[in-house]
Amino acid sequence: MQYSLGIDAGGTYTDAVLIRNRNGKVVDRAKSLTTYPDLIMGIHNVLGLLNREYMENINLVSVSTTLSTNTLLEKTGASASLILIGDHPLERELAAENYVFIAGGHDQNGEELTPLDMKKVEEHIKKVQGNVSVFAVSAYFGTRNPEHELKVKDKILELTGKPVVCGHELSQELGAYERAVTALLNAQLIPVTTKFIRSVIHEIEKLGIQEKMLMLRCDGSVVNIEDALHRPIETIFSGPAASLVGASYLADQNTCAVMDVGGTSTDVSAIYKGLPELKTEGATVGGWKTRVKAIDMETSAMGGDSHIWVTKKSINIGPRRVIPLCVAATHHPHLIEILSKQAPTFRVMENENFQPTRFFMKSQPDHQYIDPQEKEILDLLDEQPVPIQTISHQLNGMPSANVLDSLVQKRLVQPIGFTPTDALHVLGDYTEWNVEASEKGAEMLSKLLRKDKIELCENIKEMFAKNMSRELIHFLLPDVNEKVIMDILNGKYPARLNLDIPVALVGGPVKAYVDEIQKILIADIKVPESFEVGNAVGALMGKGIKRVEIMIRPHSLQRPEEDFLVFAPGQRKQFKKYVDALDFARKTGEDTVKGYMNKCRIDSDRVKITFEKKTVVPDSWHHPPMETRLIVMGVGTPNIG
């Protein structure tokens, strides 16, 4: 009997699942806390929880992760230099301080406009090679003729041996700025992704597994894991893509909306007829617009680990993430004693750092620069939770909220606090961790608001469900005014919104929110079996999807009957006859799709290839099309189920 192993390294948990290939059934699953900064330890831990008998018969491994997304959001990628080829400087900001403009470039037909200034290229490489780890190269109309990009790449490899990414390797679309940003971000990700993937491969091989390995991309498709080493930018948002594909599979719904409630955020997306909805434009990450095709989704900074903090009159959820009291007490049992001795009131409550349930602990050695105020606080902490009251007492005054925030942002300090997960523990809806710690935290906050602790937690649960409903409606009805949506959800009108599309929930304790959501919406809510590890299932269930677009156009409109240019990924060809150009385009597209599927080790009999031809033929035009776009689409299904 053969099995497939799916792994998802998420923001809070690392999940693993084993699926029987014969019938596609989940036979084992496990969860472990994600480990920072080294994710591989979390993967090692979760694999150790799986049934060893099944693990001896694995013939496919697939991985999804939030690593690329978090690296870009946290700006912890490798140092990179961007070489831009072309005579026209980009006026918009770039995601790097180290970049240079080099003379060169081509026109829209791929003809050289300006010779490449190779002397300046060499001077720049020698100048920066000691300060950067990777290079990115992007030329104007590099997609129409990559000659200059490739010459610069060869020179970088010759002089430095360091990784190089070219814009034409990642996107065939025009848009010099977006393509340059895509190449640069991809370059910044290569070292960290290489370390992660090599570690995963090593961990899998230690288990005696020598079979094929795949990685989920942000459009819901899979790629050979070795190829992911060179194009890590395509794995941004692979976590949400995994939840979408996994939820659809587990709920047995080809068409549905999906809500994935994680520790850090809630993601909403949709799948139609088995294929994820993609953004019409490239994905935006960390404020940078790219040419990477990703699933269409919305993310809110609200998850099970969002910090619950109160003022004198209100309850607030997030947006910052903390370790829930129930989780912290499981790993640090003495936290219960501290909570028992804490004063039920606290004189400053207008900031989320100054809460009676707020704790801090040192999370890693202080190996980076810190200013004197940060050092003063850091010296008061160790690897055990310290309440904010104790910090204030030892400082003889309130610590600066900005200083605390800076320490958290630098990951030198880990905050602990009351969360929606704690509220569910108090209500008995989800009791995976230490219930007593959650109850003590709820008692302290409820006294500040003059509520009963059960009433407080029910209010939090209702708020969370209402936020989930708002995000879902906003995604499905993007043109409807948000105030109108909130008025309906808040009961201002005698009406409830009725959804015609099923909604699948995955991740964490989502079952706890079904009844609350159905009080707000009329919807077919599905919480499938194995919903807790939906992302790991999705890592396995991504299809092999390859889309190739090839363009044909006359070399000159003065001679539209002869001499045609073909622009295919990474190449430019010229043909005398239109029919020969079209035949070349079809064969090139088909071969590219088959090669991609072969790398993903998807059998050819499980691949469907379609061709779509779009032409531009003006009125009274009696020649071959002025422009032809041939779109070759291949969809392959892994050998599961």
Tokens of 440: 């003590």
Q: Which long-range contacts (CB under 8 A, 24 or more apart) does 22-27 make?
A: 23/641, 24/249, 24/640, 24/641, 26/529, 26/530, 26/533, 26/537, 27/3, 27/51, 27/54
| Closest residue by Cα to residue 35 from 539, 564, 414 | 414
pLDDT category, 423, cuts 50, 70, 90?
Answer: very high
Which uninterrupted H or E stretch holds 472? Answer: helix 453-476
Contact between 154 and 99 (Cβ < 8 Å): no
119-170: pLDDT as tens digits: 999 999 999 998 888 999 999 888 888 899 999 999 999 999 998 988 888 7
The mean pLDDT value for 598-617 works out to: 88
Report the distance separating Cα 320 and Cα 317, nearest Å.
8
Reduce the DSSP state of residue 460 to 3 states and report it: helix
Of these ranges, 95-109, 352-366, 418-432, 538-552, the one predicted with the greatest mean pLDDT is: 418-432
Report the distance separating Cα 637 and Cα 639, nearest Å.
6
The mean pLDDT value for 472-489 works out to: 85
Report whether pLDDT(287) > 70.
Answer: no
Contacts of 516 (CB under 8 A, 6+ apart): 461, 462, 464, 465, 466
Q: pLDDT: is 145 or 454 the higher one?
A: 454
Report pLDDT for 507: 82
Report whether pLDDT(21) > 80.
Answer: yes
The mean pLDDT value for 609-633 works out to: 91
Report whether pLDDT(37) > 80.
Answer: no
β pairing state of 627-636 and 525-526: unpaired
371-395: pLDDT as tens digits: 888 888 888 888 889 888 888 888 8
Report pLDDT for 585: 95
Stretch among 60-74, 504-518, 551-565 having the lowest mean pLDDT: 60-74
Report whether pLDDT(580) > 90.
Answer: yes
Assess whether the previous peptide bond of 319 is cis (omega < 30° from 0).
yes
β pairing state of 256-261 and 544-554: unpaired
Say which DSSP state 129 is in.
Answer: T
Report pLDDT for 96: 65
Handedness of CA 329, 330, 332, 337 (dihedral sign): positive
Report whether pLDDT(546) > 90.
Answer: no
Report whether pLDDT(100) > 70.
Answer: yes
What is the pTM for the complete model shown?
Answer: 0.76
Of these ranges, 22-31, 139-148, 432-441, the one predicted with the greatest mean pLDDT is: 432-441
Which residue blocks in 260-400 are alpha helix, DSSP H?
325-331, 335-341, 372-378, 388-395
Contact between 446 and 456 (Cβ < 8 Å): yes
Report whether pLDDT(291) > 90.
Answer: no
Q: Residue for token digits 């549905």? A: 256
The mean pLDDT value for 435-442 works out to: 95
503-512: pLDDT as tens digits: 999 887 888 9
pLDDT category, 552, cuts 50, 70, 90?
Answer: very high
| Closest residue by Cα to residue 186 from 260, 60, 96, 266 | 96
Report whether pLDDT(312) > 80.
Answer: no
Helices (H) and strands (E) in the chain, counts: 20, 31
Report pLDDT for 53: 87
pLDDT category, 108, cuts 50, 70, 90?
Answer: confident
Report whether pLDDT(183) > 90.
Answer: no
Q: What are phi and psi of 480, to 5 degrees?
A: -85, 135
Report pLDDT for 481: 83
What phi-psi label fits residue 405: left (phi over 0), alpha (psi between -120 and 50 degrees) or beta?
A: alpha
Report pLDDT for 30: 92
To 5 degrees, how large is the angle CA 388–CA 389–CA 393? 120
